[in-house]
Structure 1
Amino acid sequence: MAQRRPAAPAGGGAQAVGHASLRRANLALVLRHLREEGSCSRSDIADATGLHRATVSNLMAELLGRGLVREVGIEHIGAVGRPRRAVALDGSHVGVLGTEINVDYVAVYGTDLAGRVLVERRVGFDAMGMGPDRSLKELGRVAKEALDDLTASGAVPAGIGVAVPGLVDVARGAVSFAPNLGWRDLPLAERLQAEIGDGRAPVMVDNDANLAALAEFTGGVAAGTPDMVYLTGEVGVGGGIIVAGALLRGADGFSGEVGHMPVDPTGSRCGCGRVGCWETKVGLAALVSSATPERAYGLGPAPDPEERVAEIAQGLAAGDPRVMAAVAEVGRWLGLGGSILVNLFNPRAIVLGGYFAKLAERLIPPAQAELERLVIAGPAARCRFLASGLGFGAASRGAASMVVEQVINDPTAIGSAPIASTTNLAGR
């Protein structure tokens, strides 16, 4: 919708604040249009957004000065070939870093605002056993190296997003409770900022499943599906829930803890302290314990989850009956829990991430059969399990996207170039 200038308020200070807020909103509106539509002329932007053409020209001058857009040539329209200067989203000098800390690894994913991937890596690390202090030191070390890589690529870091498997107070950047990490009331953003030092970039924190769901919704196997659920396939199991195209957070921002749905009152004790949670049936630790008990979590150093899954896949390929039975059992429990989610939210797709995606060929058939048997609406629900193509990197990608959204929402935080004269920039 058009962002029109309101009537001038009585107080000069309030007027200045109102004008600055309106300008930020209009700059964000233009950037979002360019991100969605690609290159287009200023007059096209004015027609699409409802902004006055003079306003668009003025906004474009600022965005050019901040390096967030670039001229991409001349377009000719109509019989007489009237020229229009086309512009496109740029931001190649603006870097964003997404990170994830999970039970057995730390991951980073860095891009520039133009979408170029500048750094991507995952480091095996026993965060479950190391405690918050050593875990934050490791996260800080990996993040600093990634920030150096961004800077070496010519991208100044604009922010760091952190994905954590647990309940997160997003406004404070604090982890309220991460059962599988053993963390409570941890001011992660503040602590990580101190580890990184130098005030290099602001830190934001969110739940890993929420961020992975956003990554899937914007660029995954179910991209654009307005009603979907994303499931992390880690030691713990979390869910990101998209309803009508928006992330469902709940009253306090703690929605999506689907791994702690009670499904078996006589089952095993969960990391949260309760008995019979869904993740005790379908989490990676549960599968490893059943398929390769001699390699169960807690019996030695925690390897990268990719290595765990590779061992399971080898067992399946070799026809190991114990491994095959364990995977089939996880598939059935996956379908049972999935049916609860379908009965509650009626999603069109349940996207399987992490190790679920790696073993999807064996997990989805029993899971889909169990889901269809238990969903009250039966075939009318039309919900399918889908394997994510983002693998274990979905949450760190989502964390990077969170920073991108922050930049888009407030372009004035990037650079400090003065607004240039629009005399030669207005185009048509």
Structure 2
Amino acid sequence: MQVRDSWQAAGSGGADQGTVRRANLSLLLRSLRDGGPRSRARLAADLGLNKATVSSLVGELIDRGLAREGSAERGAVGRPGTIVEVNGSGAFGVGAEINVHHVSTLAVDLAGTKVSERRTSVDTRGLRPEQVVDRLVELLQGTLGDLDELGAVPVSVVVGVAGLVDRDRGTVSVAPNLGWQGVELAGLLRTKLGDPAYLVDVDNEANLAAVAEATPGDPDRRDILVVHGEVGIGGGIVADGRPFQGRLGFAGEFGHMVVDRGGRRCGCGRTGCWETVIGLSRLIEVATDEGDALRSPDLGLEAKVEEINRRAAADDERMLDALHEVGRWVGIGAAALTNALNPGMIVLSGYLGEVGEWFQDDVETELASGVLAPDSGGTRIGLSTLGFSAAVCGAAAVAIEHVFDDPTLVRRATDSLEAMS
């Protein structure tokens, strides 16, 4: 992609000069992130912009603290140019997650490096939405304190929620497993955070998990579906390297595909949703009796998964049978999704990724038998390596992506000096 020089566009009566300059700044900053450090001359050649324009853009990125100069370019013919690179400490984004059993936060810098990570167990189903937001704000305040020690404030806070989210309004339309309906989450957060200058956005947790799994530059990860499992089951779609969220942002609710019409009642009120046969609560119900420690609400999510893996490794027949049953149902749903969308990979995330080694063969068997196209249509099954942090990692990635979309969100150093004078 190339963007014309700002004065060329403005002089031709095209796009507004400021808009084109922001687009050029974004293009240049992304190029430094994705293509690595380079000299101004090399950037100009790679982006199809003239050297004067690139020099001006680099100067502005440096003034905003988003880029910095490094060493002299090696192997250059003639006078070597100075390398320009992304300044990781130039901006920060914060991701957060609200789920049934926990709230969490994660702050990253412009280079994607984690600088703060916090998590606390909360039985969100037993609290009113305002109380859950209070718990999250407590965690966010700690994260903001960590950034303050670095002399920074975030550009954006992005919160992932297990439910249908109206992103434009910042509202959780319905979250069956939280018991929420019509919760104006973004507004609540802004109020409790003191109406901050930075952006506050809300998104579906599985969409954010999909963002975290879509590894840039990996052709196998350009078209993926993410099935994110905890108490409930969510999904995310990445098409041609970009998140796909549907007409109103509600795409990816895989957990509420009806796969078993004679089955169990779901938290959404319908019967036989995919969630009812592959959710963590179903696995535990099949594998245990009343009074088993795995059924205790006091046992944390990670501890439950650890115990499931321990029993499976010890050849606990009942646990293995339950895992195989879940795996078959995962495969049945995965086949339906593959027939409809034919992704390059279906990534099992959350608890499904953590225990997936025990039933991946079952999933692949059902996928092969249920997909019309030969060789499962080229779709492969992958297990996430992000554990239960996939959604909050994706939220942090989206938060810092705002800077790459619009570098002018970060003030110039000269602007700050003028404001002080």
Compared with structure 1, are the counterparts of its residues 270 and 160 closer, same or farther at alpha carbon in structure 2 (3 Å cutoff)?
Answer: same
1:57-114 deviations in whole A, cap 9, x for unaligned? 11111111111001011114455x4210110011404221111111111121111112
Is this contact kept in 2: 1:159–1:203, CA < 8 A? yes
Q: Distance in 2 between matches of 1:74 and 1:269?
A: 65
Is 1:328 equivalent to 2:308 in the alignment? no
SS in 2 for 1:55: helix
SS in 1 for 2:359: helix
Q: Which residue of 2 aligns with 1:51?
A: 49
Is 1:105 equivalent to 2:102 in the alignment? yes
Structure 1, gaps ≥5 residues long:
420-428
Q: Distance in 1 between matches of 2:291 and 2:213?
A: 31
Q: Distance in 2 between matches of 1:307 and 1:199?
A: 36
Q: Distance in 2 between matches of 1:380 and 1:285?
A: 29
Q: Distance in 2 between matches of 1:243 and 1:76?
A: 38
TM-score of the aligned structures, taking structure 1 as reference length:
0.91
Is this contact kept in 2: 1:90–1:113, CA < 8 A? yes
Q: Distance in 2 between matches of 1:223 and 1:186?
A: 38
SS in 1 for 2:127: helix
Compared with structure 1, are the counterparts of its residues 150 and 232 closer, same or farther at alpha carbon in structure 2 (3 Å cutoff)?
Answer: same
1:263-286 deviations in whole A, cap 9, x for unaligned? 011111111110000000001121
Q: Which residue of 2 aligns with 1:294?
A: 290
Deviates most, 142-151 or 32-41: 142-151
Q: Which residue of 2 aligns with 1:6?
A: 9
* Alignment match of 2:306 (pick from 289, 305, 310): 310
* Alignment match of 1:151 (pick from 148, 151, 174): 148
Is 1:252 equivalent to 2:239 in the alignment? no
Letter aligned with residue 71 of structure 2: G
Is 1:31 equivalent to 2:29 in the alignment? yes
Q: Which residue of 1 aligns with 2:418?
A: none
Root-mean-square deviation over aligned CA pairs: 2.3
Compared with structure 1, are the counterparts of its residues 70 and 193 closer, same or farther at alpha carbon in structure 2 (3 Å cutoff)?
Answer: same
Is 1:343 equivalent to 2:339 in the alignment? yes
SS in 1 for 2:215: helix
1:199-242 deviations in whole A, cap 9, x for unaligned? 1632111111111111110369x775222111102111111112
Shift of residue 36, structure 1, vs aligned partner:
0.5
Q: Distance in 2 between matches of 1:223 and 1:287?
A: 33
1:17-40 deviations in whole A, cap 9, x for unaligned? 922211111110100000001110
SS in 1 for 2:94: strand
Q: Which residue of 2 aligns with 1:136?
A: 133
Is 1:169 equivalent to 2:172 in the alignment? no
Letter aligned with residue 208 of structure 1: E
SS in 2 for 1:3: coil
Question: What is the percentage of aligned positions where both structures have the same residue?
Answer: 44
Q: Distance in 1 between matches of 2:107 and 2:124?
A: 22
Higher relative contact order (CA 8 A, sep 6+): 1
Is this contact kept in 2: 1:104–1:302, CA < 8 A? no
Deviates most, 274-283 or 194-203: 194-203
* Alignment match of 2:38 (pick from 35, 40, 52): 40
SS in 2 for 1:218: coil
Structure 2, gaps ≥5 residues long:
416-421
Q: Distance in 1 between matches of 2:161 and 2:16?
A: 36
Q: Distance in 2 between matches of 1:160 and 1:127?
A: 20
Is this contact kept in 2: 1:126–1:302, CA < 8 A? no
Letter aligned with residue 278 of structure 2: V
* Alignment match of 1:86 (pick from 69, 83, 88): 83
Letter aligned with residue 53 of structure 2: T
Is this contact kept in 1: 2:38–2:83, CA < 8 A? yes
Is 1:383 equivalent to 2:383 in the alignment? no
Q: Distance in 1 between matches of 2:400 and 2:156?
A: 8
Shift of residue 299, structure 1, vs aligned partner:
6.9
